[in-house]
Amino acid sequence: MRVGMYTVGPVQENCFLVAADTGDKAVIIDPGEEAPRLLAEIESSGVTLEAILLTHTHFDHLGAVAPVARATGAPVYCPELEQHVLANVMDYVPFAGFGPFESYDADVLVKGGEQLHLAGLDIEVTFTPGHSPGHVTYAMTQPGDGPDVAPALFSGDVLFQQSVGRTDLPGGSHEVLLQSIAMLLERYPDDSVVHPGHMGLTTLGRERASNPFLTSLTT
């Protein structure tokens, strides 16, 4: 599949534009800020945006949701447990100096367990709380991929290179986060590429082998 990664905003959040190898439709994941830049990238890619997918609703992951949705007409898929945050964004920004961000009423709610078919992609929604109460991970493959093809994981702020998501924000739990990561390690193969909400790409196997925060899961 084709994946464009765009690091946006002062918190350096990763937004991803994903399309199948063939086809002219795409999904965008966690458009955090810089809506004009993201819209320009969508246009230059020659794709029609079919959906906006949110892993969770911390402010740095949704600042451009409303303007991108308005400009493209793409529906917004939001974790069910966090729809109230998207609908009242500024009430949930925990730090001064960020925003203002525009709120948005989610079009489609997800809670984990859904099998989505968007933009020529097969998308499994997996519930991965811990960083936030309703956090989900999107595992993407293309129709026709064989069983030996590992999915691309768009994991928001669950797992990073040599680190894990913070759990000191409201609704966070380190114990629950580790349970979510353990589930990802069990469910998906080691060569699954992790597309995180911050920092660079990694794989499940690399983090299983060397992430110091996962020692209790791998020993």
With contact defined as beta carbons under 8 Å apart, do 57 and 132 qualify?
A: yes
Distance between CA 5 and CA 24 in Å, rounded?
18
Average pLDDT over residues 141-146: 87
Check if the beta carbon of residue 156 is closer than 8 Å to that of residue 162.
no
> Residues in the chain, how many?
219
C-alpha to C-alpha distance for 211 and 207, rounded to whole angstroms? 5
pLDDT per position as a tens digit, 155-208: 999 999 999 999 998 899 999 999 999 999 999 999 999 999 999 999 999 999
The whole-number average pLDDT for the span 122-149 is: 94
- The whole-model pTM stands at 0.95
pLDDT, the chain, mean: 95
Full set of structural domains in the chain with CATH: 2-218 (3.60.15.10)
pLDDT tier, 94 (very low <50, low <70, confident <90, very high otherwise): confident
Q: Map residue 31 onto helix, strand or coil.
A: coil
CB-CB contact of 159 with 207 (8 Å): yes
Partners of 126 in the β-ladder: 137
Check residue 219 and give its pLDDT: 60
| pLDDT computed for residue 71 by the predictor | 97
**The pLDDT of residue 70 is above 80:** yes
Closest CA to 62 of 76, 49, 51, 41: 76
State the angle between helix axes of 65-72 and 35-45 in degrees (0 to 180), rounded to the nearest 10: 40
